Amino acid sequence: MMDRKKVMLIDDDKNVLELMKEQLESLYDVCCESSGEAALETLRAKAFDPHLILLDISMHGMDGYEVLGKLKENADWKKIPVVFLTGITDEYAECRGLEMDVVDYLKKPVAGKVLLARVQHYLDLYAVNIDRGMLDESKMAGLNRPLTDREMDVARLMAEFRSDREICDILYISMPYVKKLVASVKEKMGLEKRGDIRRYLK
């Protein structure tokens, strides 16, 4: 029997935690934390080793951005995919998360079937550790501003000359988020147009 994947939920709304736990626990091992501080302490103690974290942005004490920052500072935690679970819809929130390499946003409330489909997709995506092998990593290493992991996922798909719509479908993220990622990749790689990515191919 295969080991069950582990999902950590971080939200200071206990009703949300209970509902999401009920939706997920038949398929995954679920750890619920009602604050960022408690979640980080659980991780430090190695009491739960998640494959995915669903993180609320607006919380008492440490907010989601602060928690995400702490995760990215730790070598053992920085590769855990983090999805913001939030009721915030403004563009600033998405841009800030993009800069911090958040995987995606799930807007509250999340329907049960949607939640299960998204969680399985994120786990599948990171389990295979996408590496399309077309970009020249030595050339990429010379960038003045390195790409985030999420931007690298997008850059690899751009190197296959995938459309924004295809990137949406493959990475299972929204079109506005894809457009922000593509724009960031182009800026960091100095691409005037998408076809210029040929300079970075093997």
With 50 as the cut, is the pLDDT of residue 166 above it? yes
Per-residue pLDDT tens over the stretch 2-12: 578 999 999 99
> Do 78 and 36 touch, CB atoms closer than 8 A?
no
> Do 57 and 36 touch, CB atoms closer than 8 A?
no
With 90 as the cut, is the pLDDT of residue 96 above it? no
Does the pTM surpass 0.85? The reply is no
Residues in the chain: 202
Q: Give the CATH number of domain 6-127; options: 1.20.810.10, 3.40.50.880, 3.40.50.2300, 3.40.640.10.
A: 3.40.50.2300
Which residue shows structure tokens 């409330």? 109
CATH number, domain 137-200: 1.10.10.10
Strands laid side by side in the 29-33 sheet? 29-33, 6-10, 52-56, 82-86, 104-107
pLDDT score of 133: 45
The residues pairing with 6 across neighbouring beta strands, listed in sequence order, are: 29
Tokens of residue 12, six digits: 């200071």
Which residue shows structure tokens 């399309």? 132
Domain boundaries along the sequence of the chain: 6-127, 137-200
- Confidence band (pLDDT; 50, 70, 90) for 125? low
Per-residue pLDDT tens over the stretch 78-95: 888 899 888 776 777 767
* Cα dist from 118 to 124, 152, 187, whole Å: 10, 20, 29
What is the C-alpha to C-alpha distance for residues 184 and 156, in angstroms, rounded to an integer? 14
Give the three-class secondary structure for 122.
Answer: helix
> Do 62 and 35 touch, CB atoms closer than 8 A?
yes
Give the three-class secondary structure for 33.
Answer: strand
What is the C-alpha to C-alpha distance for residues 11 and 94, in angstroms, rounded to an integer? 18
pLDDT score of 105: 81
* Fold match flag (6-127 vs 137-200): no
pLDDT score of 132: 46
Q: What is the mean pLDDT of residues 5-20?
A: 94
Q: What share of the chain is helix, strand, coil (3-state, %, to 5)?
A: 50, 15, 40
> Do 54 and 8 touch, CB atoms closer than 8 A?
yes
Nearest to 40 by CA among 78, 7, 67, 6: 67
Give the three-class secondary structure for 11.
Answer: coil
